[in-house]
Chains A and B, each alone.
Chain A
């Protein structure tokens, strides 16, 4: 993991001191709420329906056990004993008091954490593949350049008042677990014909009310010129992005309106001026950062663990968990373990202080003291010995952290919705809970297989409904909650936006509708087809027919 040096420590401490001053000016009345708003937003502090919400950055989703213990402590002392992991790999606290925030931030700084740029019209916290450094198909660890981008973008003097927020995601592998096509900039590590490692750069993706998939602006940017290229894109966006209408201010609209070719030409013109200039990293800096992400001291182990194989044969429940929650590791004898934060009927992404503390201890015992947050609102232990899996599972179970449902229909992404958020039109969490309960039978859940349901409580699409295999969008119809269903969305390397299936459903009809869709798929599927595959083969009509047949 990256560790702060004196420069990083100083910058974060100075930012906390600056924010302490801004909070004091607000509390004394020197600043109005209107003047304070953009200042607090630059530091992840929102005013929600009931209270302030603080969003803490978990850069590219990587946490140490020490940091996880601090997050537990903060949940206990400053909040109501829990935190909420988000689709941007961050954690949110829903109940902190304004006067306590500077102290809370100081505590975070002690463990090399902050809330910098987790909101506001600036470059947001960078996200990345949660399996970084662990999967076989990775070309290079995406955390290296995620950290470089984190530093470059932090308190960037030119890009802190952009037309709108700006999100960057990085994948180091061809398989895209970071949803790079629905980010303002998506970076994919690639190798060019000469064998050099660099980045394919996508621009102009995003969700929200105008969902768009990112377009490749350049097939290859060498690492030596990556920062100048990013700076050129951001400058063109800062200068030309629309500021007359906040709903049209994202870079995707600019790219769409002037076209990718014209956008590319403007970026190239800027880039010519900057390329190779002072913005590029000095020699040795990328290597310095890369060294922090060197592989942990793996043991030499046989590829197959007898303990693991026997346990799967002997214990059916363990075998079920192993089927959905484990991913192959590139190091023989190791596995990637996904820890579900989607217990049946629970709130997607929530974790209690007790769970966080226990996970920190388990990470120390089984995964080199490191934890990842996934954009699907789960946690990952990236490097677990297969010999230890059965033991780890036994430890996770009593904590409510061994739900065998990763990637299944009950592994639902949901935004906070009307339960917390003042933008929402409808509740999202209770819909997720209803669907989860409907499919709680693990045999059926596993039979249905991979099916990604994503729920947003409003058009801003924080619940990623556009890229759900089944997407659910809450809308307000004359004061009542209704839910529009989309099919066929996909956030991976085969990215697609979902298509609206028909008229929206009332709150208490959504779980039934999902069940109808699932039954239709089960009837239609051919050998080995996932829901998404069947949908792509047969199209919308068969689903639509069943869904509205009774009406």
Chain B
């Protein structure tokens, strides 16, 4: 499945590993269950470590471990399940997570813009038109009414800045 990051399709160097499967060399993504069970061993490998959270698992379930991860993948089992938007914002804005935040599952072009605003910076999207859709979606809005986890300035701040400049 194409992985989009920084506005282009990139090769995915990460491998998502099932709970019972042996660990391959290189960067791995494991479940929260496995992360908890094998935390020390996983960290001791010295290769980048990631976790994949189900939509029912919350950012704060990770606790301090979040800071030691290079990647957190958040699942959208269906695009209607919007819990990962909150998880993403908590990770970015409250827990200071700076690694890759990857949207996985039912990731559609009509939602990626909201995902980006909530702090996602990598997107697993199905289809050969994925990049085109993603790029179009990113250009659809230039005005925002509320701050989020991206660096976009909301309209209320721009109004104030403009008034100050007058």
Q: Do A and B bind each other?
A: yes
Binding site for B on A (CB under 8 A): 5, 7-8, 10-11, 14-15, 17-18, 21-22, 35, 38-39, 121, 151-162, 235, 238-239, 243, 273, 278-279, 281-285, 288
A7 and B159 form a contact (CB under 8 A): yes
A243 to B84, CA, bound (A): 13
Known: A10-B142, A157-B117, A243-B81. A279 touches B160 (CB 8 A): no
Known: A10-B143, A279-B147, A284-B163. A158 touches B156 (CB 8 A): no
- Residue of B82, B108, B113 with most partner-chain A CB within 10 A: B82
Is there a chain A Cβ closer than 8 Å to B85's Cβ?
Answer: yes
Report B-chain residues with C-beta under 8 Å of the C-beta of A151.
145-146, 155-156
Known: A7-B143, A157-B118. A238 touches B160 (CB 8 A): no
A157 and B159 form a contact (CB under 8 A): no
A155 and B141 form a contact (CB under 8 A): yes
CB distance from B27 to the nearest CB of A (A): 28
A-B contact pairs, 15 of them (CB 8 A): A18-B141, A35-B108, A151-B146, A151-B155, A152-B146, A154-B145, A155-B145, A157-B146, A158-B85, A158-B89, A160-B85, A160-B114, A162-B82, A239-B87, A243-B81
A27 to B75, CA, bound (A): 30
Is there a chain A Cβ closer than 8 Å to B41's Cβ?
Answer: no
Known: A235-B86, A238-B86, A239-B58. A282 touches B145 (CB 8 A): no
Report A-chain residues with C-beta under 8 Å of the C-beta of B25.
none
A397 to B117, CA, bound (A): 53
Q: Of A10, A121, A273, which contacts B80 at CB under 8 A? A: A121
Q: How many A-B residue pairs have CB under 8 A?
A: 101
Interface string of B101-133 (1 = CB under 8 A from A): 000000010110111011000000000000000
B156 and A281 form a contact (CB under 8 A): yes
A207 to B83, CA, bound (A): 25
A153 to B146, CA, bound (A): 8
A161 and B143 form a contact (CB under 8 A): no
A7 and B85 form a contact (CB under 8 A): no
Report B-chain residues with C-beta under 8 Å of the C-beta of A14.
140-143
A285 and B148 form a contact (CB under 8 A): no
Q: Of B89, B143, B157, which contacts A11 at CB under 8 A? A: B143
Report B-chain residues with C-beta under 8 Å of the C-beta of A21.
136
Report B-chain residues with C-beta under 8 Å of the C-beta of A18.
140-141
CB distance from B131 to the nearest CB of A (A): 16
Majority secondary structure, A binding face = helix
A239 and B81 form a contact (CB under 8 A): no
B145-166 contacts to A (CB < 8 Å): 145-148, 155-160, 163
Is there a chain A Cβ closer than 8 Å to B1's Cβ?
Answer: no
CB distance from B146 to the nearest CB of A (A): 5
CB distance from B10 to the nearest CB of A (A): 24
Q: Of B85, B140, B160, B163, which contacts A157 at CB under 8 A? A: B85
A7 and B140 form a contact (CB under 8 A): no
Smallest CB-CB separation from A31: which chain B residue? B110
A155 to B111, CA, bound (A): 11
B147 and A278 form a contact (CB under 8 A): yes
Report A-chain residues with C-beta under 8 Å of the C-beta of B14.
none
CB distance from A150 to the nearest CB of B (A): 9
A377 to B148, CA, bound (A): 37
Report A-chain residues with C-beta under 8 Å of the C-beta of B136.
21
CB distance from B74 to the nearest CB of A (A): 13
Q: Of B87, B89, B93, B110, which contacts A22 at CB under 8 A? A: B110
Interface string of B30-59 (1 = CB under 8 A from A): 000000000000000000000000000010
B143 and A273 form a contact (CB under 8 A): no
CB distance from B71 to the nearest CB of A (A): 21
CB distance from B166 to the nearest CB of A (A): 12
A283 to B109, CA, bound (A): 36
B82 and A161 form a contact (CB under 8 A): yes
- Residue of A156, A239, A279 with most partner-chain B CB within 10 A: A239
Smallest CB-CB separation from B55: which chain A residue? A243
A161 and B147 form a contact (CB under 8 A): no
A279 to B154, CA, bound (A): 9
B81 and A38 form a contact (CB under 8 A): no
Q: Of A39, A155, A161, which contacts B85 at CB under 8 A? A: A161
Known: A7-B159, A155-B141, A282-B157. A238 touches B82 (CB 8 A): yes
B79 and A38 form a contact (CB under 8 A): yes
Q: Of B80, B86, B159, which contacts A158 at CB under 8 A? A: B86
Q: Of A22, A153, A154, A283, which contacts B160 at CB under 8 A? A: A283
CB distance from A277 to the nearest CB of B (A): 8
A235 to B146, CA, bound (A): 14
Is there a chain A Cβ closer than 8 Å to B18's Cβ?
Answer: no
- Residue of B117, B141, B146 with most partner-chain A CB within 10 A: B146
Report A-chain residues with C-beta under 8 Å of the C-beta of B83.
238-239, 243
Report A-chain residues with C-beta under 8 Å of the C-beta of B141.
11, 14-15, 18, 155
